[in-house]
Protein backbone atom coordinates (compact mmCIF):
# COMPACT_ATOMS: atom_id res chain seq x y z
CA UNK A 1 0.00 0.00 0.00
CA UNK A 2 2.80 2.43 0.89
CA UNK A 3 4.53 1.71 -2.42
CA UNK A 4 1.38 2.52 -4.41
CA UNK A 5 0.93 5.70 -2.39
CA UNK A 6 4.51 6.77 -3.05
CA UNK A 7 4.08 6.28 -6.81
CA UNK A 8 0.87 8.31 -6.71
CA UNK A 9 2.66 11.12 -4.86
CA UNK A 10 5.47 11.06 -7.46
CA UNK A 11 2.97 11.64 -10.23
CA UNK A 12 2.33 15.11 -8.83
CA UNK A 13 6.03 15.99 -8.51
CA UNK A 14 7.74 18.34 -10.90
CA UNK A 15 9.95 16.67 -13.48
CA UNK A 16 13.67 16.69 -12.81
CA UNK A 17 15.56 19.82 -13.77
CA UNK A 18 17.55 19.67 -17.02
CA UNK A 19 20.79 19.93 -15.02
CA UNK A 20 19.88 16.84 -13.02
CA UNK A 21 18.53 14.91 -16.03
CA UNK A 22 21.82 15.55 -17.79
CA UNK A 23 23.61 13.75 -14.96
CA UNK A 24 21.27 10.73 -14.85
CA UNK A 25 23.94 8.41 -16.30
CA UNK A 26 26.42 9.50 -13.64
CA UNK A 27 23.88 9.08 -10.83
CA UNK A 28 22.85 5.69 -12.21
CA UNK A 29 26.47 4.56 -12.18
CA UNK A 30 26.94 5.74 -8.57
CA UNK A 31 23.75 4.00 -7.43
CA UNK A 32 24.56 0.73 -9.20
CA UNK A 33 28.14 0.69 -7.88
CA UNK A 34 26.86 1.21 -4.33
CA UNK A 35 24.30 -1.55 -4.81
CA UNK A 36 26.99 -3.95 -6.02
CA UNK A 37 29.25 -2.97 -3.11
CA UNK A 38 26.49 -3.68 -0.59
CA UNK A 39 25.68 -7.05 -2.15
CA UNK A 40 29.36 -8.01 -2.15
CA UNK A 41 29.86 -7.01 1.48
CA UNK A 42 26.75 -8.90 2.51
CA UNK A 43 28.00 -12.09 0.84
CA UNK A 44 31.41 -11.78 2.52
CA UNK A 45 29.89 -11.11 5.94
CA UNK A 46 27.51 -14.03 5.49
CA UNK A 47 30.35 -16.41 4.56
CA UNK A 48 32.33 -15.34 7.64
CA UNK A 49 29.30 -15.94 9.83
CA UNK A 50 28.71 -19.34 8.21
CA UNK A 51 32.33 -20.30 8.93
CA UNK A 52 31.93 -19.32 12.59
CA UNK A 53 28.68 -21.23 12.93
CA UNK A 54 30.12 -24.36 11.31
CA UNK A 55 33.06 -24.33 13.72
CA UNK A 56 32.28 -26.38 16.80
CA UNK A 57 32.22 -23.98 19.75
CA UNK A 58 34.71 -24.83 22.44
CA UNK A 59 33.00 -23.21 25.39
CA UNK A 60 30.45 -20.60 26.45
CA UNK A 61 32.76 -17.76 25.39
CA UNK A 62 32.96 -19.16 21.85
CA UNK A 63 29.17 -19.43 21.74
CA UNK A 64 28.93 -15.83 22.92
CA UNK A 65 31.23 -14.68 20.11
CA UNK A 66 29.11 -16.55 17.57
CA UNK A 67 25.91 -15.01 19.00
CA UNK A 68 27.44 -11.53 18.91
CA UNK A 69 28.62 -12.06 15.34
CA UNK A 70 25.17 -13.25 14.30
CA UNK A 71 23.53 -10.21 15.92
CA UNK A 72 26.00 -7.92 14.17
CA UNK A 73 25.41 -9.61 10.82
CA UNK A 74 21.64 -9.32 11.16
CA UNK A 75 21.88 -5.65 12.10
CA UNK A 76 24.20 -5.00 9.16
CA UNK A 77 22.00 -7.01 6.79
CA UNK A 78 18.94 -5.03 7.90
CA UNK A 79 20.71 -1.70 7.26
CA UNK A 80 21.95 -2.96 3.89
CA UNK A 81 18.45 -4.10 2.92
CA UNK A 82 17.04 -0.66 3.71
CA UNK A 83 19.75 0.98 1.62
CA UNK A 84 19.13 -1.41 -1.28
CA UNK A 85 15.44 -0.44 -1.21
CA UNK A 86 16.40 3.26 -1.21
CA UNK A 87 18.70 2.69 -4.18
CA UNK A 88 15.98 0.87 -6.12
CA UNK A 89 13.48 3.60 -5.34
CA UNK A 90 15.97 6.24 -6.55
CA UNK A 91 16.38 4.31 -9.81
CA UNK A 92 12.59 4.09 -10.11
CA UNK A 93 12.28 7.86 -9.58
CA UNK A 94 14.85 8.35 -12.31
CA UNK A 95 12.80 6.14 -14.63
CA UNK A 96 9.70 8.24 -13.89
CA UNK A 97 11.67 11.45 -14.47
CA UNK A 98 11.26 12.86 -10.96
CA UNK A 99 14.67 11.95 -9.56
CA UNK A 100 16.34 14.93 -7.92
CA UNK A 101 13.09 16.71 -7.14
CA UNK A 102 12.49 17.24 -3.42
CA UNK A 103 9.43 15.28 -2.34
CA UNK A 104 8.53 17.95 0.19
CA UNK A 105 8.96 21.35 -1.51
CA UNK A 106 9.29 20.06 -5.12
CA UNK A 107 12.38 22.20 -5.76
CA UNK A 108 15.42 20.60 -7.37
CA UNK A 109 17.83 18.93 -4.96
CA UNK A 110 21.35 20.34 -5.25
CA UNK A 111 23.53 18.27 -7.57
CA UNK A 112 26.28 18.26 -4.91
CA UNK A 113 23.86 16.69 -2.41
CA UNK A 114 22.81 14.05 -4.94
CA UNK A 115 26.46 13.25 -5.65
CA UNK A 116 27.05 12.53 -1.94
CA UNK A 117 23.64 10.99 -1.17
CA UNK A 118 22.30 9.76 -4.51
CA UNK A 119 19.24 8.06 -3.02
CA UNK A 120 18.05 11.14 -1.09
CA UNK A 121 14.46 12.29 -1.52
CA UNK A 122 14.72 15.67 0.18
CA UNK A 123 16.65 18.88 -0.40
CA UNK A 124 18.93 20.03 2.40
CA UNK A 125 16.46 22.62 3.74
CA UNK A 126 13.57 20.15 3.94
CA UNK A 127 15.78 17.47 5.49
CA UNK A 128 16.97 19.93 8.14
CA UNK A 129 13.40 21.01 8.86
CA UNK A 130 12.30 17.38 9.21
CA UNK A 131 15.17 16.61 11.58
CA UNK A 132 14.31 19.68 13.63
CA UNK A 133 10.69 18.51 13.95
CA UNK A 134 11.70 14.90 14.67
CA UNK A 135 15.12 14.90 16.34
CA UNK A 136 16.82 11.57 16.75
CA UNK A 137 16.69 10.16 20.22
CA UNK A 138 19.91 10.68 22.03
CA UNK A 139 21.40 8.13 24.35
CA UNK A 140 21.46 9.44 27.90
CA UNK A 141 24.92 9.89 29.34
CA UNK A 142 25.68 7.69 32.29
Closest CA to 97 of 15, 11, 26: 15
Domain assignment present for residue 107? The answer is yes
Domain assignment present for residue 140? The answer is no
CATH number for the domain spanning 61: value is 1.20.120.910
The range of the structural domain enclosing residue 36 comes to 2-133
Domain assignment present for residue 110? The answer is yes
Does 139 score more than 50 pLDDT? no
Task: For 24-59, write each residue's pLDDT tens digit.
Answer: 999 999 999 999 999 998 888 777 777 766 776 677
Domain assignment present for residue 142? The answer is no
Q: What is the number of domains present in the chain?
A: 1
Q: Are 122 and 109 in contact (CB under 8 A)?
A: yes
Task: For 61-110, write each residue's pLDDT tens digit.
Answer: 777 777 787 788 888 888 999 999 999 999 999 999 999 999 999 999 99
Domain assignment present for residue 139? The answer is no
Domain assignment present for residue 141? The answer is no
Amino acid sequence: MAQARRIYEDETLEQSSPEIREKYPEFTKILLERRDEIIGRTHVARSHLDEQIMTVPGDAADESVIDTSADYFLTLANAHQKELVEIQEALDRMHRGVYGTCESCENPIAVERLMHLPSTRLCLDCKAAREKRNPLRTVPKI
